[in-house]
Amino acid sequence: MRHTAPLLLAATLASAHAQSSIHFDPTQHVWNLSAGAMSYVLGVNDHQALQTIYWGARLHPSATFPQPRQLPEAASFDPGIASTPLEYPGWGGGLPYEPALKISFLDGNRSLQLEFVDAKVTADELEITTKDALAPVFVHLHYHPYPEGVLARWSTIENRGKDTITVEQAGSATWNLPANRNYELSSLTGRWGAEWQLETEALHPGINVLESRRGSTSHQSNPWFAIATRGETTETSGPVWFGELGWSGSWRISVEQTHADRVRITGGYNPFDFAYPLAPGQSLETPKFYAGYTTSGHGEASRILHRFQRAEILPQRPSPKPRPVIFNSWEATEFNVDEAGQIALAEKAATLGVERMVIDDGWFGQRNTDHAGLGDWYVNPQKFPHGLKPVIDRVHALGMDFGIWVEPEMVNPDSDLYRKHPDWAMNFPGRPRTEARNQLLLNLARPDVRQYVFNWLDKLVSENDIAFLKWDYNRNWSEPGWDAVPLPQQKEIYVKYVDNLYSILADLRKKHPQLEIESCSGGGGRVDLGILRYTDEVWPSDNTDALDRLVIQDGFTHAYSPNLMMAWVTDVPNFLDRRSIPLDFRFLVAMSGSLGIGNNLNKWTPEDFATATRMVAFYKQIRPTVQLGDLHRLSSPRNPKDNTDSETSALQYVSTDGATSVVFAYLHSQHFGRPFPTVHLQGLDPAATYRLTPLDPDKAPGLATERNGSQLMGQGIDLALRGDYDATAIRLERTR
Ligand code: GLA
C-alpha cells in the first residue's frame, strides 16, 4: 500500500452548518459524510481503490465500517472490479462498464488504475487525491456535503508528467446504489414546446443514457435523475436516490445496471466527440454532480432540491428575493416594438400591479424578423429614435423596473457583425454552415468573441438602467470547429465555450450587482445547476397553453424550484394548439410559479383588467409561500398509470416556518358531472389552527373559516368546481 497519506488528526470536522459533517476513521481509511437526512460513506479498499460503502438514510454517529474489500471475481468474464462499487473507476484492468475517466497517453497506452494517495478536509470539503499506479496522472476527488441533504462531487484531473495526455472521457462522479433488482428510473425528456415530460421506467441489466450532444443542456433531456424502488416509492413515501448535473454544455448521465444487479450512475462531460489534451502541469476540472437521498418519496426529493437550489446555488443564495410580477411584450408585439407601443403597454401593465416591464426581441440592429440583426447590439434608431431612455424613464415613473431581451451567443449572417467577422461563427472551414432560425453560433471559446460579447453587454447595462436580462439561446450547435487553435486543442471548445459563458455572466453580475438574469433557450433548453449559479430564473417553455403548462410545470418541479419557474398568462386561442382557456384558470396556473403576463393588453376588455388585477393582488399575498415554501404535489396532472392527462390536479405550498400555506385546485375537464375529489392537505401542523381565505368563496362552499391542521389533512376539503377549466385557490394562515 503506497500510503503517503498524512494522518488526519481530527477524526471529525463538522462544517459551519450543523447538519453536514465529515467524519474520518484513520484506522480504516473510511470517510462518513452526512448531509441533512443522508449519509454517504466511502473508503479505500484492499486494492487501494476508492469504494462506495453506503449511500442512504443518515446513520447514527456510532456506526462503524471495516475497510472495504474488492468483491471477488464471479467468473473469468466478470472480474472483481466489474461488481465492486468503485467511486471513480478509471478505464483499465478489464473494466467492462462505464468508466468515470478514460485517458490516452502518447505511447498508445490507454489504461488507468487509480490508487489512493492522500486526503484532506478543508472547511466543508473532503478532497481525496488518487494517482495512476504507474503514470504521474493525479485525480483529485472532491466531496462537499450540504446541510439541505445534497452531496456535491466533482474531480480534477492533473497531468504531472512530462508528456501531454488526452482526456477522452471525464465524468464528475460515479454513484453506486445498494444491490436491488427492483429499481425504476425517472427522467425528464421532451422537445421544443413540450419540455419537462416525466418518464419512469423499470431498470434492467444494460445502460440507460440520458444525454445532450447538442452543445447545451437541451430540451430533449435534462441532467436530472431519480431512482426509486418499484411498488414501494410514491410521491409521499419510499426511498429515492436523485441527482442533477451542473453543466450547460453537452453532458451525459449513464444509469447502468450490471449483470450482477448493481446500479451505478456516472455523469459529466459527454464523451461524444470529446478530447481534452493536458500538457504537463495542466489540469481539467469536471462539472459538479449533485445527489441526495430521501425515504419520503418523490415529493420530498423535489423539496430537498428546491431548498438546496435556493440556499446554495442561485446567485442570491442563501435567501433569494421573491421574483417580481413581470409583463413581457413578446406575444403582444413580436418584432414590432417601438417607443410609443411599448410605453402604451407599460402603462396598461402598471395598472395591474406589474412590477417589471420587459421588452423582448426586436429592439436592436436591423431586427425586424428573425432573419437579421443578431450580433448588432445597438438600439434600432427607427423604432427608438431617442434610445431606450424615454421608455425606461416612463417605466420607472410607473413604479416598475425595466428588463430587456438579448441573445448574446448568436449571429445572423445578415448582420454587420457577421460581415466583419465571419470567422467568429462556429464552423468547419470549407464546410457549409448549418443555419437554424437563420442564425449561427458565435464561437464563445475564442477570447476575442468572449471579450466582444462581454463588452457590449456591459455597455448596454452601464448606459441604461436595466434591472433584468432575458438571455436567450435559440439553436443547437453544428460544425463545432475552432481552427484558430492547433488541432489537438480544437475539441476543447466543448469545455471552453461553456466556461466563457459562465465567466461572462459572472463578470457582468459582479460589475452590476443589481442585475438579474433569466436563462431562456427557446423555452427550457438551458436549465441546469451550472447556469443557475448565474441566473435568477428560467423560462421553462415557449408553450404557454395553461393545460399543457400544468404538465410542464409538474415535470419541472421534480427537478427545480418553483421560484425559478417563470410562468406567463398569454392570449387565447393559444398560438400553439388554438385552445381557449378562461383567463382566471390561466392565471391560477401561472400563479403556481413566478407570475408573468404576456398578453396583448391592447385587446383586453375591462373585465379582463378586473380579473387580472384581482389575481395579481392575490398572487402578491401568496408569493413568498409559492416561491420560497415547500411544494406538495397533491395530485398530478398526469395519470401516473399510463402517463395520460388526468381530469383534475392540485398543488399545495407551505411556508418554511409553517405559518402560511396555499392550495391550488384545477378541474381540467369534467366527465359525468363527477365531483372534484376531496383535497387532502399535507405538510401542516396537525395541532395548529389555520384561517382559510378562499379566492372564490362560492367555489369552496361551507368551508369553515378556521380549521385544525389534522382535519385539513385527514378530512380534507371539498370544492365546488364545475365544467371544463375551472380552478381556484385557498390561502391558509396559522392562527394558533
Ligand atoms: C425565443 C424565446 C421566446 C422569445 C423569442 C424571441 O423563442 O423562447 O420567449 O423571446 O425567442 O425571438
Per-residue model confidence as pLDDT tens digits over 258-285:
988 899 999 999 999 999 999 999 999 9
Scanning 524-572, the segments in alpha helix (DSSP H) are: 546-559
Query: Hey, what's the torsion of the CAs at 582, 584, 590, 594, to 10 degrees?
Result: 150
- Return the pLDDT at 641: 64
Question: 361 CB under 6 A from ligand 1?
Answer: yes
Ligand 1 atom at shortest distance from the alpha carbon of 523: 8
The answer, yes or no, to whether residue 730 has pLDDT greater than 70, is yes
pTM of the model: 0.97
The answer, yes or no, to whether residue 3 has pLDDT greater than 90, is no
Q: pLDDT (tens digit, 9 = 90+) per residue, 568-591?
A: 999 999 999 999 999 999 999 999
Question: 360 CB under 6 A from ligand 1?
Answer: yes
Question: 542 CB under 6 A from ligand 1?
Answer: yes
**For strand 468-471 and strand 516-519, is the pairing parallel, antiparallel, or unpaired?**
parallel
Calculate mean pLDDT across residues 181-189: 97
- Return the pLDDT at 123: 80
For residue 44, list its beta bridge partners. 50
Ligand 1 atom at shortest distance from the alpha carbon of 522: 8
Cα–Cα distance between 431 and 483 in angstroms, integer? 12
Q: pLDDT (tens digit, 9 = 90+) per residue, 200-247?
A: 999 999 999 999 999 999 999 999 999 999 999 999 999 999 999 999
684 Cα–ligand 1 center, Å: 40
Question: 522 CB under 6 A from ligand 1?
Answer: yes
Ligand 1 atom at shortest distance from the alpha carbon of 520: 8
Closest CA to 9 of 24, 30, 29, 22: 24
Cα–Cα distance between 629 and 702 in angstroms, integer? 28
- 477524526: which residue's cell? 11
User: Would you place residue 8 in the very low, low, confident or very high pLDDT band (cuts 50, 70, 90)?
Assistant: very low
Angle of the 546-559 helix axis to the 583-590 helix axis, nearest 10? 10
537 Cα–ligand 1 center, Å: 15
Protein residue with its CA nearest to atom 9 in ligand 1? 542
The answer, yes or no, to whether residue 707 has pLDDT greater than 80, is yes
C-alpha cell at 683: 405538510
- Return the pLDDT at 9: 29
Residues listed for the chain: 736
- Return the pLDDT at 260: 86
The answer, yes or no, to whether residue 16 has pLDDT greater than 80, is no
Helix (H) or strand (E) holding 118: strand 114-122
- The rounded mean pLDDT for the chain is 95
The answer, yes or no, to whether residue 391 has pLDDT greater than 50, is yes
Question: 407 CB under 6 A from ligand 1?
Answer: no
Question: 405 CB under 6 A from ligand 1?
Answer: yes
Question: 248 CB under 6 A from ligand 1?
Answer: no
Count of CA atoms in the C-beta half-sphere (13 A) of 298: 29
Calculate mean pLDDT across residues 156-165: 98
The answer, yes or no, to whether residue 166 has pLDDT greater than 90, is yes
Burial degree of 336 (CB within 10 A; 0-12, 13-18, 19+): exposed
Protein residue with its CA nearest to atom 3 in ligand 1? 522
Cα–Cα distance between 87 and 40 in angstroms, integer? 11
522 Cα–ligand 1 center, Å: 5
CA distances from 680 to 651, 684, 719 (A): 10, 11, 11
- Return the pLDDT at 19: 87
- Return the pLDDT at 640: 65
446 Cα–ligand 1 center, Å: 26
Calculate mean pLDDT across residues 423-441: 98
User: Would you place residue 704 in the very low, low, confident or very high pLDDT band (cuts 50, 70, 90)?
Assistant: confident
Instruction: Say if CB 49 and CB 70 are below 8 A apart.
Output: yes
Residue 645, SS3? strand
Cα–Cα distance between 719 and 727 in angstroms, integer? 10
Question: 364 CB under 6 A from ligand 1?
Answer: no
- Return the pLDDT at 159: 98
Ligand 1 atom at shortest distance from the alpha carbon of 539: 8
The answer, yes or no, to whether residue 12 has pLDDT greater than 60, is no
- The residue to mutate among 469, 520, 552, having the most atoms of ligand 1 within 8 angstroms of its beta carbon, is 520
Ligand 1 atom at shortest distance from the alpha carbon of 542: 8
472 Cα–ligand 1 center, Å: 7
Cα–Cα distance between 89 and 97 in angstroms, integer? 9
The answer, yes or no, to whether residue 608 has pLDDT greater than 90, is yes
Q: Is 14 or 226 the better-scoring residue by pLDDT?
A: 226
- Return the pLDDT at 645: 76
Which positions are annotated as active-site residues? 472, 542
Q: pLDDT (tens digit, 9 = 90+) per residue, 460-506?
A: 999 999 999 999 999 999 999 999 999 999 999 999 999 999 999 99
Q: Is 642 or 432 the better-scoring residue by pLDDT?
A: 432
Residue 191, SS3? coil
Protein residue with its CA nearest to atom 1 in ligand 1? 522
Q: pLDDT (tens digit, 9 = 90+) per residue, 25-68?
A: 888 899 999 999 999 999 999 999 999 999 999 999 889 999 99
Of 18-22, 97-101, 205-209, 478-482, least confident by mean pLDDT is: 18-22
Closest CA to 469 of 448, 454, 484: 454
Residue 218, SS3? coil
Cα–Cα distance between 413 and 420 in angstroms, integer? 10
CA distances from 431 to 335, 408, 427, 428, 443 (A): 32, 24, 7, 6, 16
Closest CA to 646 of 675, 662, 663, 670: 670
User: Would you place residue 14 in the very low, low, confident or very high pLDDT band (cuts 50, 70, 90)?
Assistant: very low
Scanning 233-277, the segments in alpha helix (DSSP H) are: none
Scanning 214-336, the segments in alpha helix (DSSP H) are: 297-308, 330-333
Q: pLDDT (tens digit, 9 = 90+) per residue, 637-682?
A: 997 666 677 999 999 999 999 999 999 999 999 999 999 999 999 9
Closest CA to 132 of 159, 94, 171, 170: 159
Cα–Cα distance between 293 and 56 in angstroms, integer? 6
CA 118 to chain centroid, in Å, comes to: 33
